Structure 1
């Protein structure tokens, strides 16, 4: 399966410095603070994704059969670096709203511990591939189901869907590199379990912390909405369960679920919200 397609590096044309509402997602505090928590993880997390892919790519032979993968890795780095910059600005606004980003420190400490213990580059790449799958699953939901961001502040709806588009486009890069370097199925699944456990724990802790600083943690309505968000008829748990578990299949590949048409549809309908920094322009 040839999946190393050229990617585009884009500049998102939004001005986060103008600020945005405290409860920007349809006035719903829990959903807003859940998405805010995810944003808080991105600057440190995506830098680690860049570092792990670069470190592993240095071991990929400079052969013709890997030429397209080498090129796509550079585009991956460009996209992730842009995400990192945008979410740094986003998080700065959250700080002005009184939220405290603990996730960045938890992530940095975990990365430092891995470096101290000399975790091999191929294992770090397996963790990156795992997180990339998780973000790709959430990206698909964000693009496929408009209700996920229904009623959101237009600027942040644009930001999250742009991010979802690019996560969709590059969802196989780390996986393909891991496979090209001979990464094993057993290691891939083991690190996936570790990554999902860590992500869910940290997302929960940061969301609760956000709600605390928001002054709404103990309001019953918050947790009723949380239950609907995760366990309602179209809750995130039901929508993500099968896609997340699919990663455990021995024959799994990200593009077995080919949803590129969702990305293309959003890009075509929202061309005024971004400019192309590098890569061929869409037809």
Structure 2
């Protein structure tokens, strides 16, 4: 199915990490910018139910899997996703104090993913949604980590949270895809159709939640218009958040695609080493960010 597959790094569940998410994190923790902050905050509210959905869709096929390596990968994938869900839930609980309707957001997503999609779509298609989502989160993680200017002015705890999440997304980026192709024997049409659905629904729901957040923040209609205009340019301008990701996004559409045709980012190994040295994800994130920033300055 795929050519030139690389050897992936081990999937390492990292549990009991302390990001001090109960500390005095500023409301607009990313560059004191409402749009940038709420963009990441909106994604954070989607993670807990989304991670549960991904785990469920992969587990649909566990009884058909006999390969010990794949069984172990799924176990470690599940543990990583469960940690992501737990820590983003802890942060999301802070958002409630901002007047954000977190519970309603979670209930709506639960209804859409489990009450509608899981009820009306085939298991093959829902696994396709999972593999597509994992591809998008992995390339977004790649984008955020390797371009340190995106997190300039970020609270160190939140930056560390997203760097950790990003590194683990890259470690397990092939798990759902392997189950989709090797076990579910997905058709190309199923793989592409599920990706197109994710491509449409992911930004729609992120923007819908951001709209609620900015309203809850008390910005006037005119203020919100200016925030959206400036923020959408930040997302979609040449060299912005999304444009550099397009090549890797479209690679998913190739018939012979596999996630491990693309290696982990260069900063992966340094981050693993720094985390091992410090035992502190925030300190590891700070040192990695400083090293990446310095490297960009000398480039």
TM-score of the alignment, normalized to the shorter chain, above 0.5: yes
Query: Which residue pairs with 2:49 in the alignment?
Result: 44
- Please state how far the C-alpha of 1:104 moved relative to its aligned partner: 2.1
Matched, 1:193 2:193: no
Return the offset for 1:188.
0.5
Do the aligned partners of 1:3 and 1:172 also contact (CA within 8 Å) in 2? no
Q: Is the 8 A contact 2:38 2:210 kept in 1?
A: yes
1:222 and 2:223 matched: no
| Deviates further, 229-238 or 156-165 | 229-238
Aligned to 1:6: 10
* Corresponding residue number in structure 1 for 2:87: 86
Q: 1:155 aligns with which of 129, 154, 157?
A: 157
1:125: how far off? 0.9
Q: TM-score by structure 2 length?
A: 0.85
* Whole-angstrom CA distance in 2 between matches of 1:205 and 1:212: 11
Checking the alignment, whether the CA contact within 8 Å between 1:169 and 1:260 is kept in structure 2 is no
Measured after TM superposition, the shift of residue 216 of structure 1 is: 2.8
Distance 1:46 1:237, change over 3 A: same
Residue correspondences, number: 270
Q: Could you give the per-residue CA deviations for residues 126-150 of structure 1, whole angstroms, max 9, x where no partner exists?
A: 1100100110111001111001111
Q: 1:27 aligns with which of 29, 32, 52?
A: 32
Q: Distance in 2 between matches of 1:196 and 1:57?
A: 27
Runs (4+) off by over 4 Å: 2-5
Post-superposition Cα deviations, 1:203-229, rounded to whole Å, max 9, x if no partner, equal 110111111111236315423431331
Aligned to 2:107: 105
TM-score, scaled relative to structure 1: 0.89
8 A Cα contact 1:43 1:88, kept in partner: yes
Q: 1:216 to 1:58 in 2, by over 3 A?
A: farther
Return 5+ residue gaps in structure 2 as ranges: 283-299
CA distance in 2, matches of 1:36, 1:73: 27
The corresponding residue for 1:257 is 262
Name the stretch that deviates more: 229-238 or 181-190: 229-238
Q: Does 1:184 align with 2:209?
A: no
Secondary structure of the structure 2 residue equivalent to 1:86? helix
Equivalent residue for 1:279? none
